[in-house]
A and B are shown apart, each in its own frame.
Chain A
Amino acid sequence: ATHLTESDRSMRDYSEALDMWTTFQTKTHGLSLSLSSQLRLILTPSQSTKLSGSFRTGKRLNIKKIIPYIASSYKRDKIWMRRSIPSKRSYQILLCVDDSSSMGDNSSSGLLALESFVMVARALTMLEVGQVGVLGFGSDVFVAHDLTGPLFASHDTGARVLQQFTFRQDGTDMCRLVRKTIDHFRDARLLTQQGAGQQDLWQLALILSDGLVQSKDHARLRPLLREAMEQRVMVVFIVMDDAGDQKGKGGSVLELKEARFGADGMPVIHRYLDSFPFPYYLIVHHLDDLPGALAGLLRTWFAEVNG
């Protein structure tokens, strides 16, 4: 694993990247709209689901207040709960795209990842819920688009990101990616809080990858993912698995096994995903599956943290 600087990373030709962005944006426009409208309901709740507080009138009785109410000869009459008004949320979202060569060499995972990236970036731009940044990763991690950069409203902004993905990195260091993601979000949170922000800030990382990580890293990833959770950073792993559908069932990560040799020298075979350490992951065979799957997963997660 070598350290890559801006200058020795290979770049895609600008006009080619611009063509790609235009093509992908047109192709995925409907999906972006769909994702954007589904996310609007999840990410920007206009009504709190929780009933709380003590009021003279309200939606539901607060049972705990009934006895004091009677005991006070019906004087302490703030016995009702109301829906509280939710504080305005803001988001920082990092899209982390796998730039390793397993995404490119006789695999179309890279293409699916870039299309997915364009689709999601456009949906988030339509939503305008906060900042969107892009990280590229492989043997190293690079910032392809800063959180403080513009949203993806112009083809130029998008093309400049696509230029940086050529799938030539000779490793997939997922531990380094998660480490950098946590650090990046910590810095970004500090910067935001120095500003006006008394807002409720949520940080979300979406990893777009073929899911192929060295299995020995699975164990090393667990404490990092715990740290992310403690920092209130949500990490969603989106496995680009186009082979699952198109080229017969053989190529799918769902079917992928790994062989090890036991102490007795006998081979033991396990399902690769059984030790996969990401608690929130989804497997995408087609781009069309992504809006529904991603919205579903985020809905579940928000229900858990708000519950």
Chain B
Amino acid sequence: MEQPSGAQVKVTFTTTETDIELPETKRQLLVPAEIRRYGLSRILNSESMLDTGAIPFDFLVNGSFLRTSLDDYLKTNGLSLETNVTLQYVRSLIPPVYEASF
């Protein structure tokens, strides 16, 4: 298993689906830089966020779906951990697949 670096990225969650909107005070969050779609989905579903159980979410970053870890996304785009990443979440249209790591 990959050793977590402990690095964090600040993200801002947005959505266009009004029934799953977060209250303003919960939209900004520091998350582990290694996080992927599945981990972000679990955070959103958690009791202290949307408390929605297990809805699979997909995340749009700059217009395209996040398919790598956040730090890979940053590296690929020449961005640093100083970047505040805006993540637009939508209910996933892809059938859920088992993923071992977050």
Query: How far does the Cβ of A248 sit from chain B's closest Cβ, in whole Å?
Result: 5
Whether B29 is near chain A, meaning CB under 8 Å from some CB there, is: yes
A-contact bits for B33-44, CB 8 A (1 contact / 0 none): 000000100110
Q: In the complex, how many residue pairs between chain A and chain B have their CB atoms under 8 Å apart?
A: 81
Chain B contact patch, size range: 20 to 34
B-contact bits for A236-268, CB 8 A (1 contact / 0 none): 000000000000111100011111110001110
A-contact bits for B8-36, CB 8 A (1 contact / 0 none): 10100000000000001111111110000
Give the secondary structure class of B's interface: mixed
Whether A100 is near chain B, meaning CB under 8 Å from some CB there, is: yes
B10 touches A212 (CB 8 A): yes
Query: How far does the Cβ of A215 sit from chain B's closest Cβ, in whole Å?
Result: 6
Whether B55 is near chain A, meaning CB under 8 Å from some CB there, is: no
Q: A255-B25, A258-B30, A265-B102 are in contact. Are A216 and B82 (CB under 8 A)?
A: no
Selected from B25, B43, B48, B82, the residue in CB contact (under 8 A) with A172 is B82
Q: A214-B8, A216-B7, A269-B46 are in contact. Are A255 and B80 (CB under 8 A)?
A: no
Chain A contact patch, size range: 20 to 34
Whether A128 is near chain B, meaning CB under 8 Å from some CB there, is: no
B81 touches A248 (CB 8 A): no
Tell me, in angstroms, the Cα distance from A285 to B83 when the chains sit together: 21
Q: A101-B80, A101-B83, A107-B84 are in contact. Are A259 and B6 (CB under 8 A)?
A: no
Whether A181 is near chain B, meaning CB under 8 Å from some CB there, is: no
Selected from B28, B31, B49, B82, the residue in CB contact (under 8 A) with A251 is B28
A105 touches B26 (CB 8 A): no
Selected from A102, A251, A267, the residue in CB contact (under 8 A) with B42 is A267
Please give the residue numbers on chain B whose beta carbons come within 8 Å of chain A beta carbons, in ascending order.
Answer: 6-8, 10, 24-32, 39, 42-43, 46, 48-49, 80-84, 102
| Extra pairs beyond A212-B10, A216-B6 (20, CB < 8 Å) | A102-B10, A105-B83, A170-B82, A171-B81, A171-B82, A172-B82, A214-B7, A249-B25, A250-B24, A250-B26, A250-B28, A255-B25, A256-B29, A257-B48, A258-B31, A259-B31, A261-B32, A267-B42, A267-B46, A269-B49
